[in-house]
Amino acid sequence: MIEVRDLEKRYGDVLAVKGVSLSVGRGEIVGLLGHNGAGKSTVMKVITGFLEPSSGSVSVGGIDVVENRIAVQKQIGYLPENAPVYPEMLVQEYLLMMAELRGIPVGERAAAVGRAVAATGLQAWLVRPIATLSKGYRQRVGLAQAILHEPEVLILDEPTNGLDPVQIAEIRMLIKRLAASSTVVLSTHILSEIEAVCDRVVIMIDGELAADAKLSDLLHSDRVRVSLPADTAGVEDTLAAVEDVHDVHAVGADPSRSGYQLWSLQCSSSEPPTPDIVRAAVAAGWDVAAVALESQSLEEVFRSLIEQRAAAEAAATSQAAEASEAAV
C-alpha cells in the first residue's frame, strides 16, 4: 500500500532523513518510533505530500506522491501532531466544511459526517464550539476529519500527545477500531503507545532506519530464566553443558518465591532449548520452580539500538583518527 524507497529529506545543510526504505501492506498497523527529532514527522509529511523528498521515491496505492500528489492525498486521512481545527466553529460546521474540501458530493456530505461522528463518538458534541472541547475531544474531531472520505490509509502523527491517561486509552481504542477498514501508520516517541496499538514497529534514530520488524519478533528473547532453590549446587556447569546454552549466571532472588534464586541462560539458537534445560535440571535432582523465556521490553530494544549506534559511531571516529595519524 505504501512504498518508500531510499528516501532522503534535506533542510538546507541538515539531512533530516537518510536513505529510509520501507513497505506497508494493506491492513497493517505500523508504529513509527523514535526520539524527538529522529525524522518521524518528516517521513509522514513526505508520504502525505506535504513535503517533497530531496531524493528517493514514495508511492501510495501505486501512485507516486511527487507525480500525482492530489491522487495520493485522496487515499489518505492525515492527523498532524496538532489537530487542524478551527476553535470558533461548531463541530458539525467544521466537519461539513472538511467534507466539502474533500470533494464529497453535496448529497453525501451529511451521511459522511454522520459515519465519522459515530466512529469517533462525537454525537453529543456536534453543536458545541470546538474551543469548548477538551484536548481529547479535539483530537477526536481531528480524527473525524481524517476519516470523512473513508480513506484506505490513515497517517497519525503523535495522536495521543498531551492527553491524560483516560483520553489516551480512548484514542487507542478508537485507532484500533479504525484500523479494521484502513492501513494505519502512527508516529510516537512513547514506547507504551506502540505496544498497545501496533502490530509492527519501525524505529528511527537520527534520521536513519534502525529497525523494522513485527512487534512480537522485535521483543523475542533468546534468554531463558530458571527458578531454583538458592542453595542449589553446580548450576552453572550443569546448565552450560546443555547444547546451545551459554552465559549462565544468577540474577538475584526470585521475588515470587521465598528461598529461590533466578538464573539467566543465554541461548545461541533462535528457539531456546527449553525442554533440554528442564530435562537437565530434573536429571540433576533439582527442585525446579519455573522455567520460562525472559521477556524483553520495547524500551530495552530501543536502548540497545541507541547504544549499538553510539558504539559504531565511536569506533568509526577512532578509526578515522588512526588513519589520519598514519597518513601524517
What CA–CA distance (Å, rounded) separates 34 from 53?
20
Where does the chain show beta strands of DSSP type E?
2-11, 14-24, 29-33, 55-60, 63-64, 76-79, 153-157, 183-188, 200-205, 208-214, 223-229, 245-253, 260-267, 290-293
pLDDT for residue 160 is more than 70: yes
Render pLDDT for 50-66 as a digit per residue (tens, 0 to 9).
999 999 999 999 999 99
What CA–CA distance (Å, rounded) separates 245 from 276?
10
**Would you state the pLDDT for residue 89?**
96
184: nearest Cα among 15, 24, 19: 24
Half-sphere exposure (Cβ direction) of 252: Cα atoms closer than 13 Å: 2
- In the chain, % of residues over pLDDT 90: 55
Q: Judge contact between 36 and 90, C-beta under 8 A.
A: no
156: nearest Cα among 39, 45, 302: 45
Helix extents (H) in 31-157: 40-47, 69-74, 91-101, 106-120, 135-147
Long-range contacts of 270-277 (CB under 8 A, 24+ apart): 270/220, 270/222, 272/222, 272/223, 272/224, 272/244, 273/242, 273/243, 273/244, 273/245, 274/224, 276/242, 276/243, 276/244, 276/245, 277/224, 277/226, 277/239, 277/242, 277/245
What CA–CA distance (Å, rounded) separates 136 from 174?
12
**Would you state the pLDDT for residue 221?**
77
**To the nearest whole number, what is the mean pLDDT of the chain?**
89
Q: What is the CA radius of gyration of the chain?
A: 25
Render pLDDT for 274-319 as a digit per residue (tens, 0 to 9).
899 999 999 999 999 998 887 777 888 888 888 888 887 777 777 7
In degrees and rounded to multiples of 5, residue 282 shows phi and psi of: -65, -40
Long-range contacts of 215-218 (CB under 8 A, 24+ apart): 215/31, 215/298, 218/298, 218/301
Q: How confident is the model at residue 328 (pLDDT cuts 50, 70, 90)?
A: low
Report, as an integer, the average pLDDT of 216-237: 88
pLDDT for residue 320 is more than 80: no
For residue 124, the 8-state DSSP code is G
pLDDT for residue 30 is more than 80: yes
**Would you state the pLDDT for residue 268?**
84
**Would you state the pLDDT for residue 174?**
82
Render pLDDT for 129-159 as a digit per residue (tens, 0 to 9).
999 998 888 988 998 999 999 899 999 988 8
Q: How confident is the model at residue 222 (pLDDT cuts 50, 70, 90)?
A: confident
**Would you state the pLDDT for residue 200?**
92
When comparing pLDDT for 68 and 169, which is higher?
A: 68
The three cell numbers locating residue 120: 469517533
Q: How confident is the model at residue 180 (pLDDT cuts 50, 70, 90)?
A: confident
The three cell numbers locating residue 151: 480513506
**Would you state the pLDDT for residue 165?**
84
Report, as an integer, the average pLDDT of 73-79: 92
pLDDT for residue 241 is more than 70: yes
**Would you state the pLDDT for residue 277?**
92
The pTM assigned to this predicted structure is: 0.77
DSSP for 169-191, please give it.
HHHHHHHHHHTTTSEEEEEES-H
**Would you state the pLDDT for residue 114?**
95
33: nearest Cα among 174, 218, 175: 218
Please name each of the domains of the chain with its CATH number: 2-218 (3.40.50.300), 223-293 (3.30.70.260)
